[in-house]
Structure 1
């Protein structure tokens, strides 16, 4: 390797890439597992780091899709990404389909509210199994309040034997203002009733998602702005892809 080639490698900026399928408004599992970290990276990474996020619509067409439905869902995801705080000046947001290269990315799991042994998913027929990041506070309280737990008295963290309570403790921990672990929260609420505990989970979750719904609705109504973001994201991603 020549000294010049070595210098280019040393000076090459760090790149962070991840993607999300366009299945409509993201749910809590998407937000906790990936999207929240995307937003945080804008602050935590050096300015030289390239942050590249894709709406992976080519992955979505591995199953039959109506073109007009897929287009709407892509726009919904784009609006949601902007609503949670992604800054198109700091990161590249683009649709996968116009480009000739493919990416994949792993994601952490949040479990279903109605079946805490399965991951939260929009494909589940029960809407109460998932929380969308655009749900109202009333919807969040209702869904958390009806989340499946068990009849054992008290609250404890044991994913193997108490998956329902453990899932809620995991969710609570993500949004806890005091940044307590699931185990620490379990100690705090060890003697609490399910109702009291679920109210606390709801409070933390509502506070953590505050503002996203309103920003999403505003962005969804601004089609010209979303079209501009789509065009600019595709341009920046194409430059990255060929370089």
Structure 2
């Protein structure tokens, strides 16, 4: 089999109001990968427009959100001088390869994608073609860099499997041409998931049964990455709890979603496991634990929020980072797309 350079690709949609769930579920994981891999981190703005304009907010909101996600990457510790940070729409090869993959992927594969069913809901006939086909664009995002590894959460595993299926089918459909053009027996790698321990599933501070979300009508349901220290502490103090003291063991969290959520947040921010946190705070009232959680949250998040505000106040700097990153990304993607055109038979 062909040998592929080890490379990580991942992306975040610029949908505005980044919150603690985005930070713990994705961005901290991106930061941790920097020391071991050649990383490409993308603000996937083309994915953002697959739903109604009312969902993503229109042109000005998209520009603002794209810069905000970039600022969050940098403020959290991603180094744009050592790794590639860019927005997807600046690199045309994503869309070019996505069209080829539209012709490789099968309708039956896309019909099985559960995220489309969730996002389209009962109005599938009114969903955009982009929403239906965006797993093919996601595959192109990864494979246009011939990335070998992708950090994934539970909700993206199915899409990574589709990327592997598309890569395998392309390699099979064009095997003879790949051998002739490249001398290799496979052109695309089958990207592997990076599982960095159990993902932190951050739930609403007002309802432990719901995921933390930017669309929740109550701002007290989430901690935004742009919240200042006083706001973070206030939201923790007002977080919903139950009247019982904290248990000393994880089994005691069953049936107590709000308690489980707050313990999980503390553990993730402290870099500890839940058992360690419960040993320290088991038997304590929530008033004591919330004070400790508020202090920890402020210590970890307030500096990121301050740095994000500083960065977003200088859009020229952010745009410069994205342009430089797009140039670097294009240097990798363009030769791949040229080879794909030769393999498929396009004249160029």
Which bin holds the TM-score, normalised by the shorter protein? 0.7 to 0.9
Give how far 1:19 is off.
Answer: 1.0
CA distance in 1, matches of 2:232, 2:65: 22
State whether structure 2 residue 232 is matched by structure 1 residue 239: no
Which residue does 1:148 correspond to in 2? 240
Select which of 196, 201, 219 maps to 2:288: 196
Counterpart contact for 2:75–2:307, Cα < 8 Å: yes
State whether structure 2 residue 256 is matched by structure 1 residue 162: yes
Which residue does 1:171 correspond to in 2? 265
Select which of 9, 24, 27 maps to 1:17: 9
State whether structure 2 residue 24 is matched by structure 1 residue 32: yes
State whether structure 2 residue 94 is matched by structure 1 residue 106: no
TM-score (norm 1): 0.87
Q: Pairwise mapping of residues 36-51 of structure 1 onto structure 2 (< 5 A)?
A: 36-43=28-35, 45=36, 49-51=37-39
Kindly provide the CA deviation profile for residues 78-112 of structure 1, in whole angstroms up to 9, marking residues without a partner as x: 12211112111111111122333233763342111
Which residue does 1:52 correspond to in 2? 40
Counterpart contact for 1:159–1:167, Cα < 8 Å: no
CA distance in 2, matches of 1:71, 1:134: 17
Select which of 65, 70, 73 maps to 1:78: 70
SS in 1 for 2:40: strand
Give how far 1:209 is off.
Answer: 1.9
After the TM superposition, which of the residue ranges 28-37 and 146-155 deviates more from structure 2?
146-155
CA distance in 2, matches of 1:25, 1:87: 22
CA distance in 1, matches of 2:222, 2:235: 8
CA distance in 1, matches of 2:33, 2:320: 23
More helix by share: 2
State whether structure 2 residue 263 is matched by structure 1 residue 228: no
CA distance in 2, matches of 1:170, 1:42: 24
- Mark the CA change 1:236 to 1:136 in structure 2 (over 3 Å): closer, same or farther: same
Kindly provide the CA deviation profile for residues 14-43 of structure 1, in whole angstroms up to 9, marking residues without a partner as x: 111111110224210111011011112223
Give how far 1:199 is off.
Answer: 0.8
Q: Which runs of 5+ in 2 are unaligned?
A: 95-136, 140-150, 154-198, 337-348
Counterpart contact for 2:246–2:259, Cα < 8 Å: no
CA distance in 2, matches of 1:180, 1:68: 40
Counterpart contact for 1:114–1:147, Cα < 8 Å: yes
Kindly provide the CA deviation profile for residues 50-103 of structure 1, in whole angstroms up to 9, marking residues without a partner as x: 201111112211122311111111111112211112111111111122333233
Give the aligned length: 229
TM-score (norm 2): 0.62
Give how far 1:159 is off.
Answer: 5.0
CA distance in 1, matches of 2:202, 2:233: 17
SS in 2 for 1:103: helix
CA distance in 1, matches of 2:81, 2:327: 13
Which residue does 1:122 correspond to in 2? 214
